[in-house]
Structure 1
Amino acid sequence: MEKGKRRTVVRKSPKNKLSKKVTKTIKSKVSKSNNRKYGTVPKKSTLVVERLKRDLRRTRTSASYRIGNTIINSLIKPWKLILLPFRLIKISWDLAKERLGIKNPPNHDSVVENKHVNKKTIVVFPTNGVGFGHFTRILAIAKRMKKIDEEMEIIFFTTMPTLHILKEQGKFVAYHIPGRKKFENMDAKTWNTLTEEFMENIFAIHRPNYFIYDGAFPYRGMLNSISNHKELTKFWLRRGTLKKNIAKTPNEGVNLFDYIIRPKDSVELDLSSEEEYNPDLITCNPILLLDKDELMNRRDACARLGVPENAVIVYVQLGAGNINDINSEIGMTIDALKRYEDIYVVLGESMIGARLNVSGERIRIIRDYPNSRFFRAFDFSIMAAGYNSFHEAVQFSLPTIFYPNMNTGQDDQLKRAKVAEDVGAMLIVRKRTESNIADAIEKLYDEDLRKVMKKKAALLHTENGAEQIAKYLIDMINES
């Protein structure tokens, strides 16, 4: 609502049903801070005009319009009919490349010239995959930026459903859009249109200076939106040790960004593929949500988990799997751990996953975030070698048996974990059989070996990449 504008409220008196309608004029009060931030929010009519421009652009870039327009132009000028088959083939080829993200749709007049940006406002867009990786990296950076400069306003726009975490971690404002597959029978075009319109409203209200995306592949709706805003400085946070022969991200999508941020991994990054992209490249150390001083001490963590402090406590987080199936990886793991009378098992349950159906006198389940805050309570762990899990185990010197997931689409977990195994900091079970799992657990049950592994893990410690990127972005903002 514009400053000073009045609105009329009509209501009936509850005491007398026959009384006439009573009108009262209320003047909306706008604080100075809100007026400074939102005082120049576009009027509703302006937003409608911009939306109609986007609708017109979508119409003009649609397959039906472009094919129909080509046919009509050929009918108007019959001499063009000779070239019509070739032009239709070209349009079909262009449409296919646009659908695959290899090529951007034709540009039309839908660019928003917003000269008034809030210098210290950032919109971040972390997606959610099978876990918290994208979300956690963005949150780690956002927390540290707020710590460095309390005036930073960081707005989350995310497909992640666990928005309560943002309140706990830093009181961040958030907008949520469910992923396309959460809707019944929603096609990609409809979802991308919804995403684009949602983002356009966020940009219009908050007028951000920076935009940061963390996801495996850029959505077309997001690309359409950020391409409309030339005033935005755009970052794509891309991490991981990628498997060989993985299809590269199309140049057209990448080149809409100004910078690519590549957190390092245990394996040296191959940045040769980045050279063909236009954005500048920024590298940093692995990004972690917590620092060592944020972990709970063993006594408090054990009390919180309900396990005796003098027991051997093992943390297990393996993702999907039927825990009651003795032939599954997690089933064989729990069965092997139960053979040790002094071992207590703490099972990590994903906050976006199904509930684990398991119980036992020496089994505890935690559904928390981040579970790494309890790492000082654990003597060793058994986990998949995902990016976050691996680097948390290394950075916090938690001896770990890794079960690298060989079926990930892009992430090379075996290659990542092997670096820690080679220095003697971790163990890897490549083929998960009952005997292999039991042998690995027997090794880690040895306290002397665990002490050696902790010392070896210290060789791989680095400064938190979240701190590095937060400082880098703050410096960029202050210098602009």
Structure 2
Amino acid sequence: MGKSLNTKQRVIFLLKNGIGFGHFRRALVLASELEKKGLEIIFLSQAKSTRIFDEYKFKVINVPLLHSLKSNNAALAFNSVINFIIEHLNPSLVIEDTYSDDYYLNIPALATTPRILILRRVSGDAIEEFFYSGKFGQYDMIYVMESKELCIDKLKSPLVKSVLDNSDLFDFCGDIFFQPEESMKQRMNHKYKVDQFDKTVVVNGGAGGWHLGENVCELIFDSVIEFAKNIKNYNQKVQFIIVTGPYSEHLISKYDEVELVNYQITMVGYEGNLSALLNIADVCVLRPGYNTTMEALQGEGQLILLPGISYMEDQKEWCDYLHNEFMVDFIPIEDIKKLQKVLLKSLIAPKPKREKVRNNACEVAEKIIRRMKLRVIGNNNFLLAFNLIDYKEKNSIKQYVQRYPRLARVSFVQKDQSVSGLNLQDTGAEPVVVVNSLQQSIHSITEFMGRKIIFYNDSDLSFLRKQQYEAIYDLESLGIISIEVTEIPFTTSERTLHILQNVIANRRKYAPDFVIKISQDSDQNEILKFIDSIHLLLEESNLRIMSINESFNEVSNQAVGRYRWNYDGLEIRNLS
């Protein structure tokens, strides 16, 4: 079957959830915002349970967890099924959440489909693994749900720090989570008779997945139930609501039902409106999953988090941050015996006064839609700057350039003949180093406090290629991003334009970014004629001028895609 006729822009969320519902909850929030803006949403998931979709009307196609398949034959079969589905649905965009799946590399239908990654908080080591294994290189855009400063601060690699700082592939968009409406809170209040109690404690261990073979959720539930049975010297009526999650629902049968009722303990396997329940609770006892923590922070109750081992995230570091920013208590899961003491303190303590976390789901949805509308120009971009350090009539040249909208990103630089600061109109206060000769040592370059380097070359290729690339890689190892520009001394309009066109036509030989050096005796009429010619060249072609900042962004993006995926799952072969 061929591709379907897509009259409405369609977005596929390609998700994988093994031990919780976090990726799905976040994706559903974003999907709801995108649907409001007129997009058709379909979920293609790998999950053991799809109960979280019960509250929504989205179309859902679920397949087994591909990494759990026992043979290449099974993997190949399901890859063929997924490829058929994607090819038939013909999406305008595919969105994934946090963990790339190496099985999707073998799906031809994804090769030409734009892909976006939503990256929630992960450890610095995980980000560097994503980078060097080439996983980031698969995506057209990566939305990171924390600030740039916090994300970069936990990295060790200077190169990854610089790339994330300079690349426009990464958008540090802030938090995305579900915010329940007042009507949902009222339904939870009525369902669990919250008004009949002085305090309500909600306990949740996520969807109930196990980490490294140990069901820590069971340890948490045992501790809370023991506390409920033994609570003394507390003259208020307290109820305990334990949400086990669908993967630990079997634990409910472990406890005596009559005993639970006597101690005001309610156990449920799954609560579709958990976010609303967390919002109205007086105390929340949680595993520190991103979504449930963010949702609980929107309420006014006390939070007790129980960090432990989790895949590609440092839960202790996360809890330290939450404690400092939002007055959240936490106890490492190995110290679970301390939970009852902290729980009693939380029941007595007044409601904490903390700032609400901003939910950026709507803004991210708008960014995604704008991204979908962009026309990708790719290699037709080039940098063009004028070096006017020796020219007296600088303002007249700048004003003439401003006549043409297509030349709005032309840069003006001032460069001397040694390692120095480069004064740019579009980089703010951040210094950029100009290197005129590779004879200058890497040490002399890195003494300058900037993290951006411009290598000056000329149209005669006086640079030695090997030396240049060795220098560039040495700089990258120090976290310094570099671009090479071809410097063209201005002579006449016709001659300079001819050199520029020759360089553009020979991108493999020359650096297709330019600085036009205007000398003090250059003829102004010839300069203006050259500017007219550049504008005409842009009108008659699909070429586009980049600013210097955009050029550094593009080089950083190229660094993301330089590293190739290392296959860490089943190897898939066509079997005869």
Question: Which stretches in structure 2 are left out of the alignment for 5+ residues?
Answer: 376-576
Structure 2 contact 95–117 (Cα < 8 Å) conserved: yes
Instruction: For 1:356 and 1:192, locate their aligned partners in 2 and report how far apart those are by CA, in whole Å.
Output: 33
Q: Following superposition of structure 1 onto structure 2, how do residues 81-230 of structure 1 map, counting pairs within 5 Å?
A: 120-149=9-38, 152-163=39-50, 165-166=52-53, 168-169=55-56, 171-180=57-66, 183=69, 186-187=70-71, 189-220=72-103, 222-225=104-107, 229-230=111-112
CA distance in 1, matches of 2:83, 2:89: 10
3-state SS, counterpart of residue 365 of structure 2: helix
Give 1:292 shift.
5.2
Give me the whole-angstrom Cα distance separating, in 2, the residues matched to 1:349 and 1:378. Answer: 16
Separation in 2 of the partners of 1:378 and 1:240?
Answer: 25
Q: Using a 3 Å threshold, how does the CA distance of structure 1 residues 383 and 165 change in structure 2: closer, same or farther?
A: closer
Cα shift at 1:131: 0.4
Aligned AA (1:204): E
Letter in structure 1 aligned against 2:2: P
Paired amino acid for 1:214 = D
Q: How far 1:266 sits from its partner (Å)?
A: 12
TM-score normalised according to structure 1 size: 0.64
Cα shift at 1:364: 0.7
Retained in 1: the 8 A contact 2:128–2:160? Answer: no
Cα 1:303/1:291, change in 2 over 3 Å: closer
Contact 1:238 1:263 in 2 (8 A): yes
Q: Match of 1:450?
A: 350
User: What residue number does 1:419 align with?
Assistant: 321
Query: For residue 61 of structure 1, what is the aligned residue in structure 2?
Result: none
**Residues 265/445 of structure 1: CA separation in 2 closer, same or farther (3 Å cut):** farther
Contact 1:223 1:256 in 2 (8 A): no
Q: How many angstroms apart in 2 are the aligned matches of 1:148 and 1:414? A: 38
Contact kept in structure 2, 1:257 and 1:279, CA below 8 Å? no
Correspondence 1:319-338 to 2 at 5 A:
319=208, 328-338=219-229
1:385 is aligned, of 283, 288, 295, to 288
Instruction: Give the Cα separation in 1 of the matches to 2:193 and 2:75.
Output: 46
- Kindly name which structure, 1 or 2, has the bigger radius of gyration based on alpha carbons: 2
For 1:402 and 1:228, locate their aligned partners in 2 and report how far apart those are by CA, in whole Å.
Answer: 39
The equivalent position to 1:259 in structure 2, one of 141, 152, 164, is 141
Contact preservation (8 Å) 2:98, 2:118: yes
The residue aligned with 1:473 is 368
String of CA shifts for 1:200-249, please: whole Å, max 9, x gaps: 212222211111112423223x122257532x211122221316488602
* Residue 313 (structure 1) aligned with residue 200 (structure 2): yes
Residue 427 of structure 1: CA displacement?
0.8
**Distance in 1 (alpha carbons) for counterparts of 2:108 and 2:170:** 19
Structure 1 residue aligned with 2:129: 248
What are the ranges of 5 or more consecutive residues in structure 1 without an aligned counterpart? 1-40, 44-113
Equivalents in 1 of 2:86, 2:141: separation in Å?
A: 19
Equivalence for 1:33: none
Cα distance change on mapping 1:403 and 1:266 into 2, 3 Å: farther
Note closer, same or farther for the CA distance 1:478–1:244 as it changes in structure 2 (3 Å cut): closer
Of the two structures, which has the highest relative contact order with CA contacts closer than 8 Å and spacing of 6 or more?
A: 2
Seq. identity, % = 18
Among residues 396, 402, 408, which one is paired with 2:299 in the alignment?
Answer: 396
Contact 2:145 2:172 in 1 (8 A): yes
Question: Any runs of at least 4 consecutive aligned residues in structure 1 with deviations exceeding 6 A, and if so which?
Answer: 321-325
Secondary structure, counterpart of 2:19 in structure 1: coil
Q: Counterpart in 1 of 2:188?
A: 301
* Structure 1 match to 2:429: none
Q: TM-score normalized by structure 2?
A: 0.54
Q: Report how far residue 381 of structure 1 moved.
A: 1.1
Aligned to 1:408: 310
For residues 221 and 41 of structure 2, the distance between their equivalents in structure 1, rounded to whole angstroms, comes to: 39
In the superposition, relative to structure 1, how do residues 140 and 323 fare at CA in structure 2: closer, same or farther (>3 Å)? closer
Q: Distance in 1 between matches of 2:160 and 2:8?
A: 32
- Residues 91-110 of structure 1, C-alpha deviations (whole Å, 9 max, x = no match): xxxxxxxxxxxxxxxxxxxx
Counterparts of 2:35 and 2:287, CA distance in 1: 31
C-alpha spacing 1:431/1:478, structure 2 compared with 1 (3 Å): closer
Cα deviations by residue, 1:62-101 (Å, 9 ceiling, x for unpaired): xxxxxxxxxxxxxxxxxxxxxxxxxxxxxxxxxxxxxxxx
- Over 3 Å counting, the alpha-carbon distance change for 1:384 and 1:165 in structure 2 is closer
Decide whether aligned partners of structure 1 residues 257 and 274 sit closer, same or farther in structure 2, where only a CA change above 3 A counts: farther
Name the Cα RMSD after superposition.
Answer: 3.2
Shift of 1:382: 0.8
Aligned length: 349
Asked whether 1:349 is paired with 2:238, we answer no
State the distance in 2 between where 1:204 and 1:371 align. 36
Which SS does the other structure have where 2:196 is aligned?
Answer: coil
Residue type at the aligned position of 1:252 = G
Q: What is the letter of the counterpart of residue 242 of structure 1? A: S
Change (3 A) 1:261 1:275: farther
Give distance in 1, aligned partners of 2:74 and 2:144. Answer: 28
Indicate the SS of the match to 1:404. coil
Partner in structure 1 of residue 339 of structure 2: 437
Matched-pair contact (CA < 8 Å) for 2:86–2:110 = no
Q: Is the 8 A contact 2:29 2:176 kept in 1?
A: yes
CA distance in 2, matches of 1:136, 1:470: 15
The reply to whether residue 368 of structure 1 matches residue 271 of structure 2 is yes
